[in-house]
Structure 1
Amino acid sequence: MPRRSREQRRGDVLDRLERETDIRVASADAGGLPCLVPLWFVWDGEAVRPATRSADPTGRNPREGGRTRPALGDTRDAVLLDGEVETYGAREVPPRAAEAFREKTGWDPRADRAAHAFFRVRPRAVRARHGVRETPERHLLRDGIWPAQGASRRRTRVGPPRPAPGYGYAYVLRAATAAAGSPRS
């Protein structure tokens, strides 16, 4: 498959967010213990909206930390989002968001006996690549802004950009390793 343009990758990402139902959500608690779980979600055109039990680490970590990293796909076709989190209880969630979630997934967390939280994860960064050939141009959204179509990208340093502290699987895994008392590699 030839390398896709930035515009084509952006369109593919938005299509996947509309179409797909499952997303993996990474977070960490205040002590750095990582959590990675698959969740159902709905895309509202601006944000990913998953739901999960409020009392589980999956519900606590994003609520307390204010950010998370949802991911779609596999190593051959990956989409990573770094996002800021807003949390809603079952009674506070906007009705349109809860209904969209129910329609897409067939499940309404508001009707469950266990307390559930809904999250609105607004992407601040989006990376998408189909294999190694798209790695150099994987950054599609930065600081919550999609670059203008056809805009050239100016490199200011060699190598991939550094993720913000607290984002990224490497950070979460390093924190977990340190918390477990294992030496870092």
Structure 2
Amino acid sequence: MTTGVPPRSREQRRKDTLARFETDIDVWVATADAEGAPCLVPLSFRWDGETFLMSTGRTLPTGRNLAAGGRVRLAFGGTRDVVLVEGAATLLEAADLEPGEIEAFAAHSGFDPSALKSPYPYFRIVPEWIQAWREADEIAGRDLMKAGRWLV
């Protein structure tokens, strides 16, 4: 099934993807533990124009998986307007962040981990691979980034 809307150019897909990164608040985050057991949760994030910043409990499965493996896949949108991001995660404590990052994260997401009693570290996600498509007619050319470099 298609919407009858012509497929977007890769340039338009990049613009739409960046707009989504700026405006969306939550994203599906997929990780796996050392045995390969998957974990999928929604987390709030902030995009700074190059990386994603998110926070989750240090002892929760996602926090443990990100800290141990450093690999993550993010899924934005519904099944007919998909953006997939794969990247590398770095564990950061609040003191590791630049001045204003915690406030910017809280303002964008509506979630302030520093107000919690349990430790909620931050994770910076550097995208390495990005795909975006809406319908089958956008499957070709869906790669927008490979090896951390924009293709368009």
TM-score above 0.5, yes or no: yes
| TM-score, normalisation: structure 1 | 0.77
> Which residue number in structure 2 is paired with residue 84 of structure 1?
88
Q: In the alignment, residue 37 of structure 2 is paired with which amino acid?
A: L
Code of the residue aligned with 2:149 in structure 1: it is: I
Distance 1:103 1:146 in 2: 28
Find the counterpart in structure 2 of residue 51 from structure 1: 55
How many residues are treated as equivalent by the alignment? Answer: 148
Q: 1:146 aligns with which of 141, 145, 150?
A: 150
Deviation at 1:90, TM superposition (A): 3.1
Where does structure 1 lack aligned partners over 5 or more consecutive residues?
150-185
**Secondary structure of 1:4 counterpart:** coil
Moved more, 92-101 or 65-74: 92-101
In 1: Cα distance, 2:111 partner to 2:41 partner: 18
Aligned-partner residue type, residue 66 of structure 2: P
The yes-or-no answer on 1:125 pairing with 2:136 is no
Percentage of matched positions with identical amino acids: 45
Larger Rg: 1
Aligned with 1:65 (options 66, 69, 84): 69
**Gap regions ≥5 residues in structure 2:** none
Contact 2:44–2:111 (Cα < 8 Å) also in 1: no
Residue number among 10, 14, 17 corresponding to 2:14 in the alignment: 10
TM-score between both structures, scaled by the size of structure 2: 0.93
Q: Which amino acid aligns with 2:134?
A: H
Counterpart in 2 of 1:178? none
Corresponding letter in the other structure for 2:99: P
Alpha-carbon distance in structure 1 between the residues aligned to 2:114 and 2:12: 37
